[in-house]
Structure 1
Amino acid sequence: MNDINIIFMGTPEFAVASLQRIVESGYKVSGVVTVPDKPAGRGLKIRQSAVKQYALEHGIRVFQPEKLNDPLFIAELKELGANLFVVVAFRKLPEAVWSLPALGCFNLHASLLPQYRGAAPINHAVMNGETVTGVTTFFINEGIDTGKVILRSELTVGPDETAGELHDRLKETGAALVIKTIENIASGKCAPIAQPVSNEPLRNAPRIFREQCFISWDKTAGDVHNHIRGLSPYPGAISFLKGETAGREVKVLRSALTGEIAGTAPGHAKIVSDNRLFVACSDQYIEIITIQPAGKKAMQASEFLRGLRTTGIVFKTPSEAV
């Protein structure tokens, strides 16, 4: 352990769990690399990354380069004498950086590679209805999530589990895998292998944009349910109300399958027992459990229904909600 000198690279709260485990395990962390501070929120207040906040609280030196291939930044990394770089939820590294440490530079990715390479593996796995996912550590190379695999750990995905809930489980599983990977490398027993060739088409996990968040009610209830939970709590599955409240945007954050055959056109809703909201999909009704009208906090469907002035509720895509 005394021979391991680490530079950690990461940004969001997901990465903090791994950094914390490294620190608590007694490994030397000479520095943390994270994104520059930036304005965020309605007040555009300058916000530090979660990783920076943790590093400052624990007296770890922080680097926030605008460009990762900046010669001055690379020179500073060299001066720290680290022999292992650990990367969790960070930017793509240039070869001038990932090739520096003698023991290598490894990344923790929230999927079972080679499936779900990209920026949003957790969301895409849930949206696609996967029942098994996991985390992978691999040595970084010139590709995106294509390097040799060191270790993997599997997790089952619950049928109603949201991306947020899975995120919280994966960050802890991932943190444990990071420690095992460091131990593996430190022992000299690390034997990375090329990513396996999949017998199934590879599913990628690119960044999610707003247009991909719109709910298509003409899909099956299972597909709609997966779409909703795969985008919950962020960025949220979006729909619009048609009719009296035309154009009113809502985010559906939690849903449930009912098993009841839909008796109306997709997107048309019915109120059950005065406080439950069912929406028709192409085959069955889906129940909306938690919903968030634009500009308001998330609420239970029963509260949402009390605030409506009509019982004729229709959910549509933006082009249909007029």
Structure 2
Amino acid sequence: MRVLFAGTPAVAVPSLDRIVQAGFDVVGVLTRPDAPVGRKRVVTPSPVASRALELGLPVVRAARITPEVTARLEELAPDVAAIVAYGGLVPPAALAVPAHGWINLHFSLLPAWRGAAPVQHAVIHGDDVMGASTFLLEEGLDTGPVYGTLAMTPRPEATSGELLDELAESGSELLVQTLSGIAAGRLSPRPQDGPPSLAPKLTLEDGRLEWTQPAVALHRRARGVTPEPGAWTLLDGQRFKLEPPRLRPDARGLAPGELSWDGRALLVGTGTHALELVRVQPAGKKMMAAADWVRGSGGVEGKVLG
């Protein structure tokens, strides 16, 4: 079966690799254009483009699928398109190009968490079960019928970035199984069942920690926004970034945002019990161990976050 692959970030690369390894005829790769990366803003191919070039596959770069891009996809004549985090809408004309449609690998158990940041929202909301789905792409936002799913129980301390990496690997196998089932004519999608929830792209403000909230909610949010957009608060009016803290239900008595150093751990008060800050990044500095920051700052007496 002739497959067009569409994807852009690193989490899409395992799926491209797995499709090639499974022996499918990958006729082309659609990805977003090269973009500036890092502090020096060096124009760099997307992770998917880089991998496709290593594999010797034709690459089509497009920020959006215009009629000209659609015509190029028609020339590739795919039987099916596999799409993983491409980062753009697929218009009706392009949806109609492959006979078997576009099969999207989405990192949630649909209809839960339709949108750009499903894993992040699942972590923030404390979902006990997460997963991935393959579904037939249509014009609605992640509304198409589902071919297959996989489920996992997230580790209590895992960040959204770590869980997304895990799902990228296991989801690549689900995608290949779906494509194989379609090629054999033995797999049909079923309508999504249940109330949907939405997972819009996170903004910088989503990473702000409000210390009046319960410790568990803050712990989830910090893990959910790591690595992007990152957890942060304010200290002396400047942004103070931090890596996910540890739950400290044994430590109480601190006001929300109040810092305390006991010689071994840096604690911060919340709406319930304390959290332990492990690594922090003051304004203008690099991320460092919380203990190093305390020693370098001359102590935390009287300091309040938020």
Bin for the TM-score computed over the shorter chain: over 0.9
CA-to-partner distance for each residue in 1:16-40, whole Å, 9 max, x for gaps? 0100111111111110000111223
1:263 is aligned, of 253, 267, 277, to 253
Q: Would you say the 8 A contact 1:86–1:107 is kept in 2?
A: yes
TM-score (norm 1): 0.91
The 3-state SS of whatever aligns with 2:17 is: helix
Structure 2 counterpart of 1:159: 156
Once the two structures are superposed, the pairs formed by residues 95-106 of structure 1 within 5 Å of their partners are 95-106=92-103
| Distance of 1:43 and 1:308 partners within structure 2 | 30
Matches within 5 A, 1:1-322: 4-68=1-65, 70-90=66-86, 91-198=88-195, 202-241=196-235, 246-272=236-262, 274-312=263-301, 314-317=303-306
Are the counterparts in 2 of residues 214 and 238 from structure 1 also a CA contact under 8 Å? Answer: yes
TM-score by length of 2: 0.96
Kept in 1, the 8 Å contact 2:154–2:163? The answer is: yes
Does the 8 Å contact 1:259/1:284 carry over to 2?
yes
1-structure distance, mates of 2:39, 2:157: 32
* Unpaired segments ≥5 residues, structure 1: 318-322
Partner of 2:245, secondary structure, is strand
Alignment correspondent of 1:320: none
Query: Do 1:92 and 1:144's aligned partners in 2 also have CA atoms closer than 8 Å?
Result: no
- Residue 228 of structure 2 aligns to a residue in which SS? coil
* Offset of residue 233 of structure 1: 2.0
- Distance (Å, rounded) in 1 between the aligned partners of 2:284 and 2:4: 41
Deviations 1:263-295 (A, max 9, x none): 1310001112x1311111011011112222334
Count of residues in Structure 1 that have an aligned counterpart in Structure 2:
305
Deviation at 1:75, TM superposition (A): 1.4
Q: Does structure 1 conserve the Cα–Cα contact (< 8 Å) formed by 2:254 and 2:274?
A: no
User: Does the 8 A contact of 1:261 with 1:283 survive in 2?
Assistant: no
- Tell me the alpha carbon deviations over residues 48-82 of structure 1, each in whole angstroms, 9 at most, x when there is no partner: 110000011111111012430x2222111111111
Q: CA deviation at 1:313?
A: 5.4
Question: Does the 8 A contact of 1:131 with 1:158 survive in 2?
Answer: no
> Percent identity between the aligned chains?
38
In 2: Cα distance, 1:42 partner to 1:51 partner:
21
Question: Do 1:275 and 1:305's aligned partners in 2 also have CA atoms closer than 8 Å?
Answer: no
SS at match of 2:202: coil
Residue 252 of structure 1 contacts residue 290 of structure 1 at CA under 8 Å; is this kept in 2? yes
Decide whether the 8 Å contact of 2:252 with 2:274 is kept in 1. yes
SS in 2 for 1:307: helix
Q: SS of the counterpart of 2:277? A: strand
Identify unmatched segments of 5+ residues in structure 2: none
> What is the Cα deviation at residue 315 of structure 1?
4.2
